[in-house]
Amino acid sequence: MRRADRLFQIVQLIRGRRLTTAQWLAQRLEVSERTVYRDVADLQYQGVPIEGEAGVGYRLGEGFDLPPLIFTPQEAQALVVMTRVAQQWLDPALARASESALSRVLSVLPAGQRHAAQHTPVYSPPWGLTAEQQPHLQLWREATQGLHKLALVYNDAQARTSERTVWPLGSFFWGAVWTLVAWCEMRQDFRSFRLDRIQSITVLPQTFHLVEGQRLIDYLRQQGVDPQALAEGR
C-alpha cells in the first residue's frame, strides 16, 4: 500500500470509531505501531484534527471532511460483489439503495477500472430470500429503527404455530438464514426468530422504549458477544 493510501485509510478508520488505538490501526494496516505513530503525527502536522495521543487512542475532531473518495480496483470490485449479494439477501429497499450507491461509485472511476469492476467474476445466484421473506425482513428492519412493536405468527422447529408481540432489536445473517432478535412480551425474555419460519408480520401502532436489560447490547452480552467487535465485523 502506498503511503498516501495508508494515510487516507488512517483517517477513514479513525473517523468510523469513537476511539482507535495505534495497535488496532497497525493490525488493520499491517504495519508497525511506530509507523502508525509517525503517520498520525504527519496528519496532525498537515492540519487533520486527530485528537488523542500514543498509548491512549485517537479520535477525529468534528467538522472535518475528506476530499472525494478514491477507490482502489479491489475496493471497487468488493463493492460490486457486495451489491450482487445484497440483491439476493437484503430487503428490497436496502437492495435498491446498495445498487444506487454502487452506481455513484462506478461513475467516478476511470473507464478501465469501471469495466474491470463491473466484470468481476464473483456472483450471487438468485436463490436468496423468497418474495415473501423480503418484505418481512424490510418490515422488521424499519420497525427496529422506528421502535414499533410487531405482531408475529411464527412456526417453530416442531411446526407449532404461535402468535407473539415482540420488540424488534436486530437482524443477523448466517450465510443462508436470517435470524431476527427481539424481546418477546409473552416470554418476557429475548427470543430469536428464523425469518423463513415467520408466517406473517404486522407493524403495530404501539412503540417501545429501549431499557437496560432489554436492549440488543444486553442480548449480545448475554451471548458472550462483544458488541463493538460485532459492529466492526471482527
Q: Between 229 and 32, whose confidence is greater? A: 32
Secondary structure (DSSP) of 102-141: HHHHHHTS-HHHHHHHHT-S----S-SS-TTHHHHHHHHH
pLDDT single digits (tens) 43-83: 888 888 888 866 778 888 876 765 556 678 888 899 999 99
37, 22 Cβ separation under 8 angstroms:
yes
Q: pLDDT band for position 175 (50/70/90)? A: confident
Single pTM value for the model: 0.67
Place of cell 466492526: 232
Identify the three-state secondary structure at position 155: strand
> What local confidence, expressed as pLDDT, does residue 18 receive?
79
CA pair distance 181, 53, nearest whole angstrom:
39
Looking at the chain, list the stretches that DSSP marks H as alpha helix, in order from N- to C-terminal side: 3-15, 22-29, 33-45, 73-89, 92-107, 111-118, 133-146, 216-222, 227-231
